[in-house]
Amino acid sequence: MHTVSISHVAQHVGEEVKIKGWVYNKRSSGSLFFLIIRDGTGFIQAIVAKDEVSDKDFQGCDGLTQESSLVVCGVIKADKRAPGGYELLVTRIRPLQIAEEYPVSLKKHGVDFLMDQRHLWLRTPRQAAILRIRHEIISGIRDFFDNRGFILIDAPILTPSSCEGTTTLFSTDYFDSTAYLSQSGQLYMEAAAMALGKVYCFGPTFRAEKSKTRRHLTEFWMVEPEMAWVDLDGNMELQEELVSHTVQRVLEERKKDLETIQRDIGRLKDIKPPFPRISYDEAVECLNKNGVQFEWGNDFGGGDETVLAEQFELPVFVHRYPSNIKAFYMKPDPVRPEICLSADLLAPEGYGEIIGGGQRIDDLETIMRRIKEHSLPEEAYTWYTDLRRYGSVPHSGFGLGIERAVAWICGLDHIRETIPFPRLMNRIYP
Ligand code: NSS
């Protein structure tokens, strides 16, 4: 007898098959047991009728608890009234392990409790659907770059220097010296872009964020393309194509999961290039026009980003920020050096910044000056400044935060549900 996954039962109507899974829910009425079984790919109702199975099998159903593991054999029947459209008429049932009383019962629980039970919480339909969508987002992003000739380059995790400011560095002993967990693979991608043209890294990044917000993790995943011979405009073009491609891919491939989490997909359907672009100057003006007192030179907070994004249906680029509030490597605007050729992409619906990027400084003198101004240790950056000594070219890149993208595409209130095992300022368990 074939073992089939629940997601494939439609192809086996009328056949006797085997399903290996867990009990999600159970009810009984006299001579019948109704089991909702899940196997990771979906849910199906299994009907155990007293007359159709052995006495031992029927009695065994009495002891089945939530999340008990089992193997069931039965005939697949199409039934429009059944959740999912199919049922299993059970012929044999073999419990593997009777689960202890399950902490994550089907009633509502508080979020702290669920976070402590994250290893079990993952089994619920909503969390499993989010993880499948996360998978689709990641595979969509990788296909996007692979199909455009980008080479995947893995950046190191243990690094001698900072990329995004020294205040959020995690440090660790490295034999007789100190190493930092990578905040971004960017600096290494710049080296790789000079070797291979168009490259990207995709990996975990770490920031000791001391703020408890719904947008910040201390460990998050980032995809970071870097391109030689590309300027700020070319960089933004690639971003709008990437984001549109990824959203459309999820809408095509994960309709059912989006339904499970009750995502209103109305606005996602329209995510197509080109995206609006406004300068930082225009953004400041826009905030002040909308009743937010905002001074030129400050960085936007979450609330400011929401107000800006609300003015548009699509994600919006904010470009040319003041150099002072951006990282040391941002290329100054040749016409107005107090601003730089950076661009952030703000997602709609209050999700804030999902991408940060820009054109990089490509001349030796400027990069040396910026390293000094930021009080960074010059020795640790010798290799990086070498890139401006040997055949420097204009180049650009960006970083897309995977969890921010998942939060937006899934419409989640908090970033903690976007990653299997979130790491937050006050949480490193489980
Ligand atoms: O700091 S960024 O804006 N930019 C960089 O790290 C560049 N070095 C990327 C590059 O050009 N290669 O972070 C990029 C994105 C940001 O837009 C968020 O989507 C995400 O990374 N991000 C985070 N996600 C979750 N939690 C935290 N703490 C976080 N910080 C940034």
Residues of the chain with CATH 3.30.930.10: 118-418
Quote the CA–CA distance of 158 and 177 in Å, as a whole number: 12
Residue type, 58: F
Could you give the residue ranges of the DSSP H alpha helices within 72-172? 111-116, 118-121, 125-146
Query: Other CB atoms closer than 10 Å to residue 336's CB: what's the count?
Result: 12
pLDDT of amino acid 83? 81
C-alpha 373/C-alpha 359 separation (Å) is: 19
Give yes or no for residue 205 CB within 6 A of ligand 1: no
Q: Is 231 in the pocket of ligand 1 (CB under 6 A)?
A: no
Task: Report whether residue 209 contacts ligand 1, using a CB cutoff of 6 Å.
Answer: yes
Residue nearest to atom 30 of ligand 1 (CA): 216
User: Is the CB of 355 within 6 Å of ligand 1?
Assistant: yes
Q: Are 58 and 99 in contact (CB under 8 A)?
A: no
Show pLDDT as tens, one digit a residue, over the chain (430 residues).
Answer: 899 999 999 999 999 999 999 999 999 999 999 999 999 999 999 999 999 999 999 999 999 999 999 999 999 999 999 888 999 999 999 999 999 999 999 899 999 999 999 999 999 999 999 999 999 999 999 999 999 999 999 999 999 999 999 999 999 999 999 999 999 999 999 999 999 999 999 999 999 998 889 999 999 999 999 999 999 999 999 999 999 999 999 999 999 999 999 999 999 999 999 999 999 999 999 999 999 999 999 999 999 999 999 999 999 999 999 999 999 999 999 999 999 999 999 999 999 999 999 999 999 999 999 999 999 999 999 999 999 999 999 999 999 999 999 999 999 999 999 999 999 999 999 9
Considering only CA atoms, which residue is closest to atom 3 of ligand 1?
356
Give the distance from CA 272 to its chain's centroid. Answer: 20
Pocket test residue of 218, 404, 406 for ligand 1, highest count of atoms within 8 A of CB: 404
What number does the ligand 1 atom closest to the CA of 207 have? 28
Are 217 and 423 within 8 A, CB to CB?
yes
Q: Which residue bears the tokens 């890294």?
A: 201
CB-ligand 1 contact for 224 (6 Å cutoff): yes
* Residues 36/43, Cβ–Cβ less than 8 Å: yes
Copy the structure tokens of residue 45. Answer: 């109702």
Report CA(403)–ligand 1 centroid distance (Å). Answer: 10
Tokens 């006495």, residue located: 55
Give the ligand 1 atom nearest the CA of 222. 21
Note the pLDDT of residue 211.
81
Q: Which two tokens stand for residue 304?
A: 């400011």
SS3 for 155?
coil
Verify whether ligand 1 is closer than 6 Å to residue 357 (CB atom): yes
Phi-psi label, residue 129: left if phi above 0, alpha if psi -120 to 50, beta otherwise: alpha
**Ligand 1 center–CA 344 separation, angstroms:** 10
Q: Please list the residues that pair with 219 across neighbouring strands.
A: 206
Q: Measured between alpha carbons, how far is 347 from 357 in angstroms, rounded to an integer? A: 15
Task: Decide: 403 in ligand 1 pocket, CB within 6 A.
Answer: yes
CATH class of 2-97: mainly beta
Q: Which atom of ligand 1 is nearest to the CA of 355?
A: 17
- Which residues of the chain does CATH 2.40.50.140 include? 2-97
Instruction: Give me the DSSP letters along 180-203.
Output: EE-S-SHHHHHHHHHHHSEEEEEE
Residue entry with tokens 């030689």: 228
How many angstroms is it from 400 CA to the middle of ligand 1?
7
Output the pLDDT for position 249. Answer: 98
Residue 212: per-residue pLDDT:
86
Q: Cα of 147 to ligand 1 centre, how many Å?
A: 24
Report pLDDT for 256. Answer: 94
Domain at 118-418, CATH homologous superfamily: Bira Bifunctional Protein; Domain 2 (3.30.930.10)
